[in-house]
Structure 1
Amino acid sequence: MSAKKRMSSNVARGDETTPEDPAKIKADKEREAKEQMSAATWNVTALKMLNGGRLIAAPVAKKLARLSRMGPSANGAPRDRARILDLGGQATCDWAWHCATEYPNTKVYTATTRSQRQLSNSNIHGPANHRQVTVNKLTSLPFKDDQFDLISARNLAHILKSCSENGEDEYDACLAECMRILKPGGYLEFNLLDSDIMNAGPLGQAKSVEFGFSLKTRG
Structure 2
Amino acid sequence: MTERLRAAFQSHPSPPFSASKFVPGYEDRNTNNEAPTTGEVSRRSSQSSRETKRSDASSSSEDGSPLAQVNLRVGSMTVSRWLTFGHVLFSDVRHELVPVEGSLKRHSILVIDGLDNDDWSFYAAETYPAATFFNLSPRFPLPEELKSSSSSFPLGPLNHHQIQYVSHLNKFPFAPQSFTAVVYRFPVARPEAYYRSILTEARRVLKPGGFIELSILDVDLNNMGNRGRCTVRRLKERINEKTPDTSLGSTADLIVRLLGKVGFTTIKAARVGVPVASSVTRSDSKADEGNDAAEKKKDAPSLSEMMSDNSPLVDEGITKMVSRVGRWWYTRCYENAAENPSGKSIWSDKSLLSESRELGTSLKLMVCCARAPLQRITST
Deviations 1:145-181 (A, max 9, x none): 11111111113325xx327xxxxx2222222111110
DSSP 3-state at the match of 1:191: strand
Partner of 1:130: 160
Residue 30 of structure 1 deviates from its aligned partner by 5.1
Q: Does 1:157 align with 2:157?
A: no
**What is the CA-CA distance between 1:49 and the residue it aligns to?**
1.6
| Structure with greater Cα Rg | 1
1:82 is matched with 107
Q: 1:210 aligns with which of 234, 242, 257?
A: 234
Unmatched tracts of structure 2, length 5 or more? 1-30, 36-65, 148-152, 247-380
Q: 1:199 is aligned with what amino acid?
A: N
Q: Rate the CA distance shift 1:130–1:115 in 2: closer, same or farther, 3 A.
A: closer
Post-superposition shift, 1:116? Answer: 10
Superimposed CA distance per residue, residues 57-76 of structure 1 (whole angstroms, 9 cap, x where no aligned partner)? 21212222x2x2x1223xxx
Which of 1 and 2 has higher RCO (CA within 8 Å, sep 6+)?
2
Q: Is structure 2 residue 205 aligned with structure 1 residue 181? A: yes
Aligned-pair distance for 1:115?
A: 8.4
Q: Which whole-Å CA distance do the structure 1 matches of 2:132 and 2:196 have between them?
A: 26
Distance change (3 Å), C-alpha of 1:57 and 1:134: same
Match of 2:92 among 59, 62, 71: 59
Q: Mark the CA change 1:116 to 1:131 in structure 2 (over 3 Å): closer, same or farther.
A: closer
Distance 1:38 1:155, change over 3 A: same
1:141 match:
172
Q: What is the CA-CA distance between 1:215 and the residue it aligns to?
A: 4.4
* Structure 1 residue 72 corresponds to structure 2 residue 109: no
Partner of 2:34: 32
Measure how far apart 1:184 and its partner are.
0.8
Q: Between the two proteins, what is the percent identity of the paired residues?
A: 26
Amino acid at match of 1:183: K
How far apart, in 1, do the equivalents of 2:141 and 2:70 lie? Answer: 16
* Greater helix proportion: 2
Change (3 A) 1:114 1:30: closer
Instruction: State the alpha-carbon separation in 1 of the partners of residues 90 and 105 from structure 2.
Output: 23
Report what 1:102 is aligned to: 127
Q: What is the root-mean-square deviation in Å for CA atoms of aligned residues? A: 2.8
Q: TM-score, normalized by length of structure 2?
A: 0.40
- Aligned residue type for 2:223: N
Letter in structure 1 aligned against 2:121: A
For residue 60 of structure 1, what is the amino acid of its counterpart?
V
Displacement of 1:55 in angstroms is 1.4
Paired amino acid for 2:179: F
Equivalent position amino acid for 1:96 in 2? S
- TM-score, normalised to structure 1's length? 0.67
Q: Are the aligned partners of 1:195 and 1:211 in contact in 2 as well (CA < 8 Å)?
A: no
2:139 and 2:164 in contact (8 A); partners too? yes
The answer on whether the counterparts of 1:88 and 1:113 sit within 8 Å (CA) in structure 2 is no
Q: Classify the secondary structure of the residue corresponding to 1:194.
A: strand
Report what 2:195 is aligned to.
Answer: 171
CA contact (8 A) 1:91 1:132 kept: no
Distance 1:170 1:116, change over 3 A: farther
Give the gaps of 5 or more residues in structure 1. Answer: 1-28, 74-78, 164-168
Q: Give the aligned residue type for 2:95.
A: K
What is the SS of the residue equivalent to 2:155?
coil
Deviation of 1:84 (Å) = 0.7
Which of 197, 200, 215 is residue 224 of structure 2 equivalent to?
A: 200
Q: Does 1:191 align with 2:224?
A: no
Provide the C-alpha distance between the structure 2 equivalents of 1:172 and 1:95, rounded to a whole number of angstroms: 23
